[in-house]
Amino acid sequence: MTLKEMAKDPKRTMVVIDPRRTETAEMADIHLQVKPGTDAWLLSALGGVLVQEELIDRAWIEEHVDGAEDVMAALREIPVAQYCEISGVSEELVRETARRIGGAESVAIFEDLGIQMNRYSTLNSYLNKLLWVLTGNFAKRGAQYIPAHIVPITGKLDKLAAGAEPKRSPVAGERIIAGLTPCNSIADEILTDHPKRYRAMIVESGNPAHSVADSQRMREALSSLDTLVVIDIAMTETARLADYILPTATQYEKAEATFFNFEFPANYFHVRRPVFGAPEGVLPEAEIHARLCEALGAYTHEDLAPLRAAAKQGRAALLPVFFGNVLSNPKLSPMAPVILYRTLGPYLPAGLQSAAVVWGLAHQAARENPGSLRRAGFDGDGFEPAEKLFDAILDSPSGVVFAVDEQDENWARVKSPNGKIQALIPELLEELASLGNASTGTGDSAFPFVLSAGERRSFTANTILRNPEWRKKDRDGSLRINPDDASQLGVGSGDRVRLTTKRGSVEVQVEVSAMMQAGHVSLPNGLGLDHTTQGGTRIQTGVAPNELTSTEDRDWLAGTPWHKHVAARIEALA
């Protein structure tokens, strides 16, 4: 179902929370036009109304949730009227929204970078989830779900017991969540004489010199590394700082897949075929990884010999050898994707050698979600479902449904010891309680505007399309500003202004837009890139937002950058 269809359905209510009057907000039944950076107060007020007006599902909570009483006690104390005023949304509208959530047959909630890269990032996500947890909107039609996966996005993570101390980065002591170091602490992990500082990095299909906060400091950090290796399809800002650049084929020249597979009940997976041959001098990532592993001595020819011999006989012969020689071997198991590429890859259809790793993923999916695969048509005994799935992936150039779920599968994917949702996170309840004394706005009269540094627009594409000629509108990436603010500054669309933050200052063209509320401005993401023309001239188009952001402006718990809440000032240029 599309958003337009949803908006036209009289049996559905679409609620949008956004400081901007976006195209989606225009379609919504309810638009909660929150003041920039005050989402935590608004979400707290919604949760407060649910609890205070008994709009929750107590029977469901009793059966399926642990720690709910402490959470509800905290929400019972929320001063709803005060928090609505802080967020800039009328109390009447907030209460109406909460009542619709509490009385709905089903509720589904989706959040994105607007609140995740903002003040109270982790708390915002927590409060969002409490809205559907407290109303029992999980594992039923039209509600929240956990999809089957080909591979878990966060990998195979160690479970952290309640109260246990999380892993932390070696220098800054930042929490390592889902195996990831917060991007805003990377420079701190490098620019130090600490004996455990980061000394080398491999950057693959990423551009931290442009995409991580505080580009000036990130460039300094990357330049300070003993070794920087970049694997990419383009000469990026990060690649220009590298000691070694390993060029790879583009998405059109190699087999490729995405693992963001979140559909329910039918979930899809697609290995895309190459449509062009790669130019001379570039390699697919799988080949680069294999050559690096071999140069490092991660495995030997003797290690692979029995696997190559088995693969020559077919996948049925390879299975026991792979499981016995690789997955049970602590030395070789981390190399499994590369080993499959080297041994099984040569026997796959032309152009699909890199898809060898998907054979292992198909077996993992069949082991972890056997019922889901069976309902999708991949049945049989033993390893048959996995082998059928892999064959279907190879034979389906437009993708394949690999899993069909029933609602009960959701509960099997809740991995807490007792199978219940764990609602109580003490650190976040403490932060929730602190909202009553917290400041809003920018907190600095010298920087009265809130800048969203990196807005999605019709013609933004991260940093993969570097030639500005593809941009049919807003070629240079204008600064969007509210009409009243523009009037006070004495500027109009097409005029240029100076935009300044505590980390930098740029000149940028203005676009006056009724979409923006007073005090809120935005720049698009993906600009400020350099591009070399056919004549050899290097040009730069637009403003790189992270020339204006700071690494210190980040979530206290997860380290998430506040790209959507940057204090700024604007001056008209003559």
Same domain? For 426 and 529 the reply is no
Residue 59 has pLDDT above 80, yes or no: yes
Cα(203)–Cα(243) distance, rounded to whole angstroms? 11
505 SS3 class: strand
Same domain? For 428 and 557 the reply is no
Cα(349)–Cα(358) distance, rounded to whole angstroms? 13
Same domain? For 430 and 446 the reply is no
Backbone angles phi, psi at 224, to 5 degrees: -90, -10
Same domain? For 136 and 13 the reply is yes
Cα 353 to its chain centre, rounded Å, is 28
Same domain? For 19 and 139 the reply is yes
Domain final position from 409, 434, 459: 434
Is residue 89 domain-resident?
Answer: yes
* CATH number for 120: 3.40.228.10
> Which pLDDT band, with edges at 50, 70 and 90, does 467 fall under?
confident
Same domain? For 423 and 547 the reply is no
Is residue 182 domain-resident?
Answer: no
Residue 459 pLDDT: 82
Query: Partners of 505 in the beta sheet?
Result: 500
Burial of residue 385 (number of CB atoms within 10 Å: 0-12, 13-18, 19+) = buried
Eight-class DSSP state of 453 = E
Residue 155 has pLDDT above 70, yes or no: no
Hey, what amino acid is at 99?
R
Residues 533-548, mean pLDDT to the nearest whole number: 91
Neighbours of 355 (CB within 10 A): 25
Residue 470 pLDDT: 85
Same domain? For 423 and 449 the reply is no
Residues 467-472, mean pLDDT to the nearest whole number: 85
Residues 317-323, mean pLDDT to the nearest whole number: 97
Same domain? For 503 and 423 the reply is no
Cα(256)–Cα(233) distance, rounded to whole angstroms? 14
Is residue 445 domain-resident?
Answer: yes
Is residue 518 domain-resident?
Answer: yes
Domain final position from 401, 434, 467: 434
H, E, C per residue of 276-316:
CCCCCCCECHHHHHHHHHHHCCCCCHHHHHHHHHHHHHCHH
520 SS3 class: strand
Residue 536 pLDDT: 87
Bond preceding residue 265 cis, omega within 30 of 0:
yes
pLDDT digits (tens, 9 = 90+) for 226-260: 999 999 999 999 999 999 999 999 999 999 999 88
Do strands 496-500 and 566-572 pair parallel, antiparallel, or not at all (unpaired)? Answer: antiparallel
Eight-class DSSP state of 159 = P
Same domain? For 30 and 139 the reply is yes
Residue 456 pLDDT: 87
Residue 297 structure tokens: 């001595």
Backbone angles phi, psi at 26, to 5 degrees: -65, -30
Cα(12)–Cα(104) distance, rounded to whole angstroms? 9
Query: Partners of 180 in the beta sheet?
Result: 177
> Which pLDDT band, with edges at 50, 70 and 90, does 442 fall under?
confident
Is residue 27 domain-resident?
Answer: yes
Cα(293)–Cα(133) distance, rounded to whole angstroms? 45
Residue 441 has pLDDT above 80, yes or no: no
Region of residue 161 (left: phi > 0; alpha: psi -120 to 50; beta: else): beta
Same domain? For 428 and 480 the reply is no
Cα(163)–Cα(177) distance, rounded to whole angstroms? 15
Q: Are 108 and 137 in contact (CB under 8 A)?
A: yes
CA dihedral 217, 222, 223, 226 (to 10 degrees): 140
Residue 472 pLDDT: 85
Lowest-pLDDT choice from 164-168, 344-348, 371-375: 164-168
Is residue 398 domain-resident?
Answer: no
* CATH number for 450: 2.40.40.20
Do strands 266-269 and 400-404 pair parallel, antiparallel, or not at all (unpaired)? Answer: antiparallel
H, E, C per residue of 234-274:
CCCCCHHHCCEEEEECCCCCCCEECCCCCCCCEEEECEECC
Residue 316 has pLDDT above 70, yes or no: yes
pLDDT digits (tens, 9 = 90+) for 39-53: 999 999 999 999 999
Backbone angles phi, psi at 285, to 5 degrees: -55, -40
Cα 148 to its chain centre, rounded Å, is 18
Cα(22)–Cα(269) distance, rounded to whole angstroms? 31
pLDDT digits (tens, 9 = 90+) for 482-516: 999 999 999 999 999 999 999 999 999 999 999 99
Task: Say how many CA atoms lie within 13 Å of 270 toward its Cβ.
Answer: 13
Residue 158 has pLDDT above 70, yes or no: no
Residues 429-452, mean pLDDT to the nearest whole number: 92
Residues 14-42, mean pLDDT to the nearest whole number: 97
Domain that holds residue 135: 3-145+418-434
Helix (H) or strand (E) holding 385: helix 384-395
Is residue 550 domain-resident?
Answer: yes
Helix %, strand %, coil % for the chain, to 5?
Answer: 40, 15, 45
Residue 96 pLDDT: 98
Indicate the average pLDDT of the chain. Answer: 95
Same domain? For 423 and 525 the reply is no
- Answer positive or negative: Cα dihedral of 390, 391, 397, 403: negative
Task: Calculate what percentage of the chain has a pLDDT beyond 90.
Answer: 87
Lowest-pLDDT choice from 74-83, 456-465, 483-492: 456-465
Those residues whose C-beta lies under 8 Å from the C-beta of residue 165, and which sit 6 or more positions away, are: none
Domain count, the chain: 2
Domain final position from 367, 400, 434: 434
pLDDT digits (tens, 9 = 90+) for 262-311: 999 999 999 999 999 999 999 999 999 999 999 999 999 999 999 999 99
Eight-class DSSP state of 138 = B
Closest CA to 408 of 264, 532, 257: 264
Cα(179)–Cα(16) distance, rounded to whole angstroms? 32
In this prediction the pTM is 0.94
Same domain? For 428 and 509 the reply is no
Is residue 292 domain-resident?
Answer: no
